[in-house]
Amino acid sequence: MPKSIVVDPSAVRKPGKLKTKDIPINTYKGNPIEEAKKFGPANLVRMYHDMLLIREFESMLNAIKTQGAYDGIKYNHDGPAHLSIGQEAMAVGECYHLGADDFIFGSHRSHGEIIAKCLSAIYKLDEKKLTEVMENYMGGAPLRVIEKGHKGTVKDLAIDYTLYGTLAEIFGRENGFNKGMGGSMHAFFAPFGSMPNNAIVGGSADIAVGAALFKRVNRRPGVVIANIGDASSGCGPTWEAIAFASMDQYHSLWDPKIGGAPPIIFNFVNNFYGMGGQTAGETMGFGVLARIGAGVNEDAMHAERIDGYNPLAVADAIERKIKTALGGGGPVLLDTATYRISGHSPSDASSYRTKEEIELWQKQDCVEGFSRYLLENEHLKAEVLEELRSKIVSRVRRALELASSLEISPRINTAIDSIGAMMFSNGFKDKMAEGEPEVLIPKEESPRLKSNAKKSRSGLDEKGNLIPKAGAIALRDALFEAMLHRFYVDPTMIAYGEENRDWGGAFAVYRGLTECLPYHRLFNAPISEGAIAGTAVGYSISGGRVVAELMYCDFMGRAGDEIFNQMSKWQSMSANVLKMPLVLRVSVGNKYGAQHSQDWTSIVAHIPGLKVMFPATPYDAKGMLNLALRGTDPVVFFESQRIYDIAELFVEGGMPEGYYEVEEGEPAIRRRGKDFTIITIGATLYKALEAADVLEKKYNLSAEIIDARFINPLNYDKIIESVKKTGKVVLSSDACERGSFLHTMASNISQLAFDYLDGPVAVVGARNWITPPAEMEKAFFPQKEWILDAIHERLYPLPGHDATTYQTTGEILRRNRKGV
Ligand SMILES: Cc1ncc(C[n+]2csc(CCOP(=O)(O)OP(=O)(O)O)c2C)c(N)n1
Ligand SMILES: [Mg+2]
């Protein structure tokens, strides 16, 4: 418990001096004799081969982009090609000591890293394993192309396979490693440990930390490296990733047998430029990037600047840092100094740097420099070098020939919605890995379960009267039961967020979990919403189930990229190679004013690739969370703070004790009726029921109340059936009306059931204002009167009804004119 770490005022207030650790700069001293002994000539030549292969591969892409042809093969490539010409020594040196179990994540400029990583894995794997990987990947489709007429060893074949799969991906072909769904900036090949490359600057930082967390928590072999650019040092998510990776708790609170901090190395591929902005000297203030480490922890993140123009200096650093990271002493920061001779992209005129500067680096070119080193030290003869070069050119040429041909390498068939079929993995798995979940006590001994056992599972007694709140199981208990169940079934499942542990989770949903789970399965995260979501992406795509929590959905703003670009897109960008069993819990607040009380469902619904759920009853809260926690898709799980303490009022017998799931995408009919259909999302359900009571008692009219509960996917069948019966529809939720998901529903209902509608679908959302403080909230969120008045003004005049709020079409026009 953190209570064991006493914050002692006498220690805190004592004078002293903080010392920072020295950060080494370029300390590698090359010694050709030692290097020959350590690596052996064959491996040194191999490194050169890999660098040259990357150089040729990217020179080919450069020729294709700028001249439309390479070595007589014409091709027009519409997509991007961010080349790393000049940076090859960094990639090859880094990957030399890495095997298939080690992961690297990268950026938009990662073709070289993919090739270096795959080749390094190929050299280490035996032929049987290589064949198995190639035969199984995408049903062996890319292999069938590259193996045709291939002469050479299985390792040779695997190298050609890597070039072909990568290039086909860059060209957007079905035989690409990700069926062409990623393209140049997102290409990767997971079986050899080349993990997603991210077109969002710094995007890989927190995802890589999540992958390292997965390895640590689940005791999996290997280290994880985040290859991120020097300019990503200005990105908030990069800093959040560093914060998350360097938490004290890995050492102070976690069981030492877990092994310490996640094995992560932040490798800043420092080419001294963003696109056209120079980091040191212009956009950043660190002078030397490695200085960042000094501010993070006592170890200064074991930071070092290393010479990225010498593959042996890079290999040396990685070898040493792997030990630190695997030993739990990380995180590690490397500032790998390099230079891209090529422009940011082939169209870059390099107006932000001088010709002289480029020439300075060209004179020290890492590929040429290493060939001189090999020749001088007699590891390679000039004729052999020429042979090597021509073999590489023919490899690259063959890959281009095969990948550029539309007959041999077609694109996927978009006419049959094959991209749609990849938006979700739609898998269901009880546990993401075999093994027994690590827990502190047997499930039956959970104090909260015991206390739940004393409460009524229903909110109503036998006579249908409301049971006092303290005596009935509430929605927050339902969520707890779903969480507890999965924690005791899936050994990979972890949960984290702010105040998740000793506090009991925001709004007491997790109260009682601390007693059941060790630290590494339930912990407090730093106030780093981006890293909370981003690490969860990394954890889940590495094979683990995770629940991340962001307290208020308003805080999704802090995790915008991680939710909207990463969580939503990696399954489909990987062509479902990756699965994402990730549930992100967020709540819709109230009482805390404008920055804590907005319903952001529409924003999430708008982004393809996310499942979106919003239960409004305890039965659904448990059944839907159970469903989400068995799935392999990313789910944004909305909860409403207003109803955390509500008990089950709809299901006879109340919320079941045992396990059950709610059917995905199916709305729930809460009350039958024939005159109106009122559809709600979230807590507005209860306002709709109040309105329905008035309709019945005062006007003798009945409303069918439908709780959508799912936003995506959503099956409209029950809704259309209801509309056919009533002809009149009101939609209501707590989200601001403009752009709300209700309008998507209204539009769909109008298109699907136009012939059955007696009038326009009425949308009753919250006002298009800031949420005012608690005392004025009723003027903001939909109330039962708004629903009644909207019916009266827009659908069906209620005899003798006096409208007390403004719901007329004239008012809709006025509000839109004013933009409120
Ligand atoms: C979040 C984000 N902002 C801006 C961009 C546009 N952009 C693409 S690459 C780049 C420069 C990145 O520099 P660095 O991280 O040093 O990587 P390098 O290009 O030098 O490899 C920028 C600004 C982006 N892709 N993502
Ligand atoms: Mg850069």
Going from the Cα of 272 to the center of ligand 2, the distance in angstroms, rounded, reads 5
**Which residue's C-alpha comes closest to atom 4 of ligand 1?**
201
pLDDT tens column, 555-568 = 999 999 999 999 99
Structure tokens at 706: 């439908």
Structure tokens at 201: 């600057």
**Which residues are in the CB-under-5-Å shell of ion ligand 2?**
229-231, 271, 273
Count of other CB atoms within 10 angstroms of residue 158 = 24
Residue 233 Cα to ligand 1 middle (Å): 11
Nearest to 730 by CA among 780, 676, 789: 676
Residue-level pLDDT at 195: 98
Q: Which residue's C-alpha comes closest to atom 5 of ligand 1?
A: 201
Judged by its nearest atom, the ligand closest to the C-alpha of residue 565 is 1
All residue ranges of the chain with pLDDT < 70 are 1
- One-letter identity of residue 677: T
Place of tokens 């300019």: 231
Q: What is the pLDDT of residue 55?
A: 98
| Mutation test residue for ligand 1: of 275, 353, 361, the one with most atoms within 8 Å of CB | 275
Protein residue with its CA nearest to atom 20 in ligand 1: 274
Q: What is the DSSP letter of 797?
A: P
DSSP, collapsed to helix, strand or coil, labels residue 419 as coil
The enclosing H or E element of 210 equals: helix 203-217
3-state DSSP of 554-608: HHHHHHHHHHHHHHCCHHHHCCCCCCCCEEEEEEECCCCCCCCCCCCHHHHHHCC
Residue whose tokens read 């064959």: 42
Mutate to test the pocket of ligand 1, among 108, 240, 282, 336 (most ligand atoms within 8 A of CB): 108
For the chain, the residue count is: 820
Question: Catalytic: which of 49, 97, 344, 596?
Answer: 596
Distances 188 to 110, 265, 332, 573, 629 between C-alpha atoms, Å:
9, 19, 23, 10, 27
- Residues at CB less than 6 angstroms from ligand 1: 107-109, 199-201, 229-232, 271, 273-275, 344
Determine the pLDDT at residue 130: 98
Q: What is the DSSP string of 429-495?
A: -S-SSSSPPP-SS-GGG-HHHHHHHTSBSSSB-TTSPBPPGGGB-BHHHHHHHHHHHHHTT-TT-EE
268 CA → ligand 2 middle, Å: 9
Ligand 2 centroid, distance to 230 Cα (angstroms): 5
For 720-779, write each residue's pLDDT tens digit: 999 999 999 999 999 999 999 999 999 999 999 999 999 999 999 999 999 999 999 999
| Residues paired with residue 335 on neighbouring β-strands, in sequence order | 268, 305
Amino acid identity for residue 789 in this structure: D
Closest atom of ligand 1 to 84 CA is 21
Contact 162, 137 (CB under 8 A): no
- Taking the CB of residue 176, how many other CB atoms lie within 10 A of it? 28
CB 495 within 8 A of CB 510: yes
Q: Specify the residue with its C-alpha closest to ligand 1, atom 13.
A: 274
Q: Say how far apart CA 634 and CA 566 lie, in whole Å.
A: 10
Cα 280 to ligand 2 centre (Å): 10
- How far is the centre of ligand 2, averaged over its atoms, from the C-alpha of 129 (Å)? 36
Closest ligand 1 atom, CA of 271? Answer: 20
The CA distances from residue 114 to 159, 162, 476, 619, in Å, are: 11, 9, 45, 47
Find the ligand nearest to 276 CA.
1
Give yes or no: 596 in active site. yes
